[in-house]
Structure 1
Amino acid sequence: MAKATRGSERREDALSRERIVDAAIELLDDEGENGLTFRALATRLSTGPGAIYWHIANKSELLLAASDAVVARAMGEVLASATPHEAIRRIAVGVFEAIDAHPWVGVQLSRAPWETATLRIFERIGRQVQALGVPGGAQFTSASALLSYIICVSVQNAANGRLLEPSVDRAEFLETQSARWKELDAHEYPFTRTVAAQLREHDDLAEFLAGIDLILAGIAASL
């Protein structure tokens, strides 16, 4: 019995939860959520599935831990800002870039909005909403609106990126779509035809931040 215990202790020392989560992030980036299995993870870590179960109960727990790790690092890289407005913009960029680099994270944030990863973002936004001077009764709504916009648009941006084959040039694709918009029926799509040129020239991150500015302008107008 003592021999088995010593073996378990050696296994725990050699394979930490952090190592497992880091390997899971790499596997998710390479293979997606369907490719994340304990067998594949064990192969990547040169161990057995049982050693992983020592630290992680199941795939759902592993996905949550991996998402939380990515978001925690993204939030840790957000520098302090002079104004709450600029701080919120930097938080937004951090989330946008994290989901762009790890599209599976966006799926997890949408799937489990009450878990720690989402709460990390909500907390950082909420503190800045308070710093803006938003009254207590409106703080939840303001922070929630910002959180929803940041996550949803970031997820959509990452999804759009996956729709194009690696060989497809983004500028050429937008040029083609812009030309199609211009050819739409003038009575049915007057607005879409008007903004067709903006589709061709737009920058995804700049448009994303412009939306943040619109929400913040609305919050400021309500104060």
Structure 2
Amino acid sequence: MPSPTHRAQRRTDALSRERIVEAAVELLDTAGESGLTFRVLTERLATGAGAIYWHVANKGELLAAATDAVVAAALAPGGSQASPQEEIRAVALGLFDAIDDHPWLATQLSAQFSRSPWGAVTPRIFERIGRQVSALDVPQETWFTATSALVHYILGAAAQNAANAVSARELDPSVDRAGFLDAAATAWEELDPDDYPFTRAVAAQMRVHDDREQFLGGVDLVLTGIITR
């Protein structure tokens, strides 16, 4: 029979802040922000609300902690030595995939950047990308602007990609990505050639493009501009 000390330790482990945040991420992934309530969380963790409030003061703090946990995992450094450009591409893809896997993350990242840039998330992302920007031998007076441009592109493009995927599923769950892109490209090709010559010209490229390759192409364009300048 477990001793009282052992039982208390098991309760402490089960109700650690990390376990609460993990459960919150699971709820956000399945039910979205509106589905994350302390009532549902207490049911999932089989505990009382007081035990959760001991670790997390309110829903805002819980959302911030969940966001930081997902971002920290996405930005976990690899073991190999890479050039600054390769490191930035790896960081960008990590964030791209995290936002794609967690549909709620884009909104929370936007909120963290605009409402609490002094919180954990904004410095974490800015530091990871900014160190590589500084290693590109660009003038120090351009570091903030260059890093901001990269961060805004990475988060904006990744968020748009995730939103496109969600919208496509909501419009017609039976249509896969290829079918959705084909329908969109066909519609572009049927536009008036006098009013939309460019859009018609790139319709075929849109039909067959790879989201991750297109995303990295944008990262490379920003990097080229930073280095050239």
Tell me the TM-score normalized by structure 1. 0.92
Match of 2:5?
A: none
Match of 1:40?
A: 40
Cα distance change on mapping 1:98 and 1:78 into 2, 3 Å: farther
DSSP-derived class of the 2:194 partner:
coil
Distance 1:81 1:105 in 2: 29
**1:152 lines up with 2:156 in the alignment:** yes
Select which of 178, 190, 194 maps to 1:183: 190
Cα distance change on mapping 1:172 and 1:194 into 2, 3 Å: same
Cα distance change on mapping 1:204 and 1:10 into 2, 3 Å: closer
Distance 1:79 1:102 in 2: 25
Distance 1:215 1:80 in 2: 24
Match of 1:212?
A: 219
Match of 1:76?
A: 76
For 1:200, the aligned partner's letter is: R
Q: Give, in angstroms, the shift of residue 14 of structure 1.
A: 4.4
Distance 2:190 2:81 in 1: 45
Per-residue CA deviation, residues 172-203 of structure 1 (Å, 9 max, x unaligned), is: 11111111101101111111011010110101
Match of 1:29?
A: 29
Alignment of 1:2-151 (within 5 A): 12=12, 14-113=14-113, 114=117, 115-151=119-155
Q: Give, in angstroms, the shift of residue 9 of structure 1.
A: 9.4
Distance 2:39 2:71 in 1: 25
Distance 1:73 1:180 in 2: 39
Per-residue CA deviation, residues 118-157 of structure 1 (Å, 9 max, x unaligned), is: 3211101000001001111000000000000000111111
DSSP-derived class of the 1:184 partner:
coil
Per-residue CA deviation, residues 105-126 of structure 1 (Å, 9 max, x unaligned), is: 1111101211312321110100
DSSP-derived class of the 1:26 partner:
helix
**More divergent stretch after superposition (78-87 vs 182-191):** 78-87
Q: Give, in angstroms, the shift of residue 55 of structure 1.
A: 0.7
Unaligned 5+ runs, structure 1: 1-7
Per-residue CA deviation, residues 58-85 of structure 1 (Å, 9 max, x unaligned), is: 0000000000000011111545442101
Tell me the TM-score normalized by structure 2. 0.90
Distance 1:171 1:120 in 2: 35
For 2:208, the aligned partner's letter is: E
Give me the identity figure in percent. Answer: 59
Give aligned pairs, total: 215
CA RMSD, Structure 1 to Structure 2 (Å): 1.6
Q: Give, in angstroms, the shift of residue 50 of structure 1.
A: 1.5
Distance 2:29 2:153 in 1: 24
Distance 1:81 1:203 in 2: 27
